[in-house]
Structure 1
C-alpha cells in the first residue's frame, strides 16, 4: 500500500524535512506517526497524498510511483485517499450533509447514489440525525466526525489523519480513535500522525517515530 525507499524531502534554502525514510505499510494495516513538532510528520503525510513530491528516493502509494505521476493524474489518485485534518476544514456556510457530499459531487458521482452514500457515512460516525444542521452548531468532536465522514464517503482504501484529536479532550479523543479502529477492522489502511501517546498506547498498533527528519523507531507489524 505504502512503500518509501530512501526518500528525502528538502525545501528551498536547504532545509531537510525528511531524510532517508525507508518504510513499508501493508494494505489493511494501521500505524501511528509520532515525534516532536517539526520532526516531519505532516511532511510525510503530504508526500503520501502527493501534495508534496519527494526530492529524491522512491515513494509508491497504492501501486503508483508518486515522483513519476503526471500532475493531471493527481486528482484521480487522491480519490483513493481520505484525509482528516485537526481543524476539520469544514465549510460553515453549508450543512453537514452538503459538507460530506462535496467529494462525491467534485468527483462526478451518480446523483442518485450521493444521498445513500452520504447518509451511510453520517450513520457510520453517528451523525445521521444532524445532516441538516450547520457545522457551527456542532461540538468540536461532532465537527471532527463530520470531517471523518467526508474523508470516507468515497470509500477510500487509505485513510490519513493529521493530529485528528489535537483539539479534543480524552473522552472525545477515544471516540474518534474508536472510529479509526473500526475502519481498520473493515480493511481500510489507516495512518495517524499524533503527539498523543495515551491514544497510541490505547490503540496498541504499529508506531513510526520521527526525530529531526529521520525515522528513528519502527515497532514493526501492527498488533
Structure 2
C-alpha cells in the first residue's frame, strides 16, 4: 500500500510538472493569440483607427488566463479619437498606455491604473480653436486670431507658455505677451483683447482618462495621460 501511494504521489508530481512545463513551453503561442484577440476587440470598441499593439505581462500566461488577472498590459496605437469641442473629434497620435492591476472580463478590460501619453497635432488644435497655432524657438506657443476690436479689424498674436487646466481639461496659454502688429489700443482694454484672442481648447478623453501634463513638441503638444479604476469595453 505504501509503495502504491508513493507511486501515486510521483505520478501526480509528474503530471503537475508536465502541466506547468507545458504552460511555459506554449507560453509564446498562447500569449500571441490572446494579445491579437484583445487588440481586435479594443480596435472595434475604443475605437482605434488601426489595430493596436497589445503586450501582456505575466508568466506563464496560461495560469493568468485562469484567474483573468494580469500584472500589466501595454497598449500602443497610431491614433485614438478624443473630443475637442461639441461634436468635434481630433486624433491623439502615437498612443502608448500601460495598464496595471488588470482584470479581463467577457465584455471589458478593467485596470487599477493607467499611465501613458501621445501627442495632439497643432493643426487639429488650431482648427478647433479657430486660430493659427505654432511653436516658437524658445519653447512657447504663438496663437494668432483675426479679431475686430473697437471697430478695427486686425490680427492679434499672443505668445505664451502652454498650460493645462486639469480641473476643466482645457489647454490654454499663460504668461502671455500681446503683439498687435502696431495697432494701438487703450491700456485698460488689453485684457479684454487677450480674452477675445485666447479661448481655451477643451480636450475630453474617453473612459475617464485625464490629461495630466503637456509640453510643446515639433509637430504638436506632447501630453501625459493617466487614470485610476479605468474600464475599456471590448464589446
Q: TM-score of the superposition, structure 1-length normalised?
A: 0.24
Higher helix share: 1
The structure with more radius of gyration: 2
Q: TM-score of the superposition, structure 2-length normalised?
A: 0.23
Q: Which has the higher contact order (CA 8 A, sep 6+)?
A: 1
